[in-house]
Structure 1
Amino acid sequence: MSETQSAADLSDRIAAELPYLRRYARALTGSQKSGDQYALATLESILQDRSVFQADLSAKVGLFKCFHAIWASSGAPAPEEDSSTLARAQAHLARLEPNTREALLLSTIEDFSIADIATIMDISRDEVRYLINTARTDMQDSISGQILIIEDEPIIASDLSSIVTELGHSVTGIGRTRDSAVALGKSHRPDLILADIQLADNSSGIDAVNDLLKDIGNVPVIFITAFPERLLTGERPEPAFLISKPYREDQVKSAVSQAMFFASTETLKV
């Protein structure tokens, strides 16, 4: 294979993994803008130096490893201008042990193995395990709030309700359709919305969320979808938090805990 063909193949493999890097970066920073800035910086770095991909690493591990080199050197996510939400989140994040959120997200949301996380973060496997366990404890104990669930399947809605309640949050209601979800959100403003994409009457969970946010203002949203890459193109305003279907309990817990750090609400426990 020629050098040109090899470079093209690498570009294709990186492009296939880029939506998941965007998802991860947005979850770390709490916003599309900041997360995508980090993703772009990662791609620019790879254009300058592709040596990390010469090792025996998958394209996804290599991509995330490049990202982490940049993330670690920056020291903290870049807050957006005039963002009291992110400023407040930074105060909470500063109390957490370094690298704990990163390890937890890589494990639960991105589904990397302990060995892969160790490679990405350039630490030992034992340290990865320690960071994940510490993150679970720190994040679950630091924040509580009120959550609106938008889900048309009763069993899944009940499961999600149980998961977030176990974390110490309360459920303000469960909307099965676009109209019912909007009505619930307007009657009792949530601190976070957990929404499926396809609802009972063939309406869209995305439309329900957009309608609701126009009325109640900015609230963190976690979408649940079988096709997360379709919402991570970078071509329009997109969610910072996504869970892939079928989800696992630890994925929901991790995403909810991460998202609540970026919730501007009086129910946050300092």
Structure 2
Amino acid sequence: MTNTTATAGATASFADIIAHNLPYLRRYARALTGSQNSGDAYAAATLEALIADRSTIDGASSTKVALFRAFHLIWNSAGAPIAEENSDLARRAQEHLKTLTPNSREALLLSTIESFSHSEVAEIMESDQAEVAALLASARTEMEDSIAGRILIIEDEAIIALDLQSIVSDMGHEITGVGRTASGAVALAADDKPDLILSDIQLADGSSGIDAVNEILVNAGDIPVIFITAFPERLLTGDRPEPAFVITKPYSEEQVQSAVSQAMFFASTQTLHA
């Protein structure tokens, strides 16, 4: 193999690894900013930085860790702004986030939603494991106890629906109802407007949770939404519009808790078109 061929192969391999992990960087960035537009802009800036200077990945324990570490270099240098959407809930979120321990949300999302180990989170944030543990403790205390709301669950599998009800109820939230079909969910939301929607994608009768959410938001207005799917990469392509908050099936209790806590701060979730 010539040097040129070897270099081309290495570049292709690097590009493939980055492409594989990019949807998850988008998910993290969107949850952190509360916005598809803002999150994707940070992800794009990260890729541009890596193209310009691949030395930022040197010494990383994995390419995925390197990708997220590069993101954090940009995020921190930009002052870590949050979503700029012009809504009352977004403005209230900005004020409330000022009271949180710095970097605590980042540590919580990296650990719970993206499933990085404490050592990997420390590497990404250029910190140490003791500080990461302290940040996680602060995040759970400050965020999960800060806002209680009314949640509509759209889920056709009874066991999963019961599990989700248990998780969010234990967090102090009230369940407005459980919709198993798109029409049922829309009817529930019309009768009792929720503060947040937690929705599966594919429902019992073949209807779409995406369609249900879009119809609900037309009538209910600015409500944060969390989508649950076994194929998150399909909702994290960078196309417009896509959601800001996505949980992967099978999920953990911590992932649901973290996503719900984050989403309650924002009403900037982009709706989807079927």
- After TM superposition, the score normalised by the length of structure 1 is 0.94
1:48 aligns with 2:52: yes
The residue correspondences of 1:229-268 to structure 2 (distance < 5 A) are 229-263=233-267
Query: Any conservation in 1 of the 2:34–2:83 contact (CA below 8 Å)?
Result: no
Unaligned runs of 5+ in 1: 265-270
Aligned counterparts, 1:68-147, within 5 A: 68-80=72-84, 82-147=86-151
CA distance in 2, matches of 1:78, 1:137: 21
Offset of residue 229 of structure 1: 0.2
Aligned-residue offset at 1:76:
2.6
Alpha-carbon RMSD across the aligned residues, in angstroms, is 1.4
Whether contact under 8 Å (1:191, 1:263) holds in the other structure is no
Instruction: Check if 1:169 corresponds to 2:173.
Output: yes
1:159 maps to what in 2?
A: 163
User: Cα distance 1:78–1:138, how it changes in 2: closer, same or farther (>3 A)?
Assistant: closer
The aligned counterpart of 2:224 is 220
Offset, 1:6: 1.7
Gaps of 5+ in 2: 269-274
Rounded to whole Å, the distance in 2 between the matches of 1:82 and 1:170 is 27
Matches of 2:263 and 2:256 in 1, distance apart?
Answer: 10
Which shows bigger deviation, 33-42 or 210-219? 210-219
Deviation string 1:213-245 (CA, Å, 9 cap, x unpaired) is 111112111011000000101112111001100
AA paired with 1:243?
Answer: I
Please give the alpha-carbon distance, in whole angstroms, between the structure 2 residues aligned to 1:221 and 1:162. Answer: 18
- The secondary structure found in structure 1 opposite 2:127 is coil
Aligned to 1:201: 205
Could you list the runs of 4 or more consecutive aligned residues of structure 1 that deviate by over 6 angstroms after TM superposition?
Answer: none
Residue 148, structure 1, aligned to residue 152, structure 2: yes
The alpha carbon displacement at 1:56 in A equals 4.3
Cα distance, 1:11 vs structure 2: 1.2
Say which of 210, 214, 221 aligns to 1:210.
214
TM-score (norm: length of structure 2)? 0.93
Q: Which amino acid aligns with 1:173?
A: G
- CA drift of 1:17 comes to 0.3
C-alpha deviations, 1:102-131, integer Å up to 9, x for none?
000000000001111010000001111111
> Separation in 2 of the partners of 1:46 and 1:56?
13
Per-residue deviation at 1:167? 0.8
Kindly provide the amino acid, as one letter, of the partner of residue 30 in structure 2.
R
After TM superposition, give the deviation of residue 53 of structure 1 in Å.
Answer: 2.2
Number of equivalenced pairs: 264
Q: Percent identity?
A: 63
Per-residue deviation, 1:138: 0.6
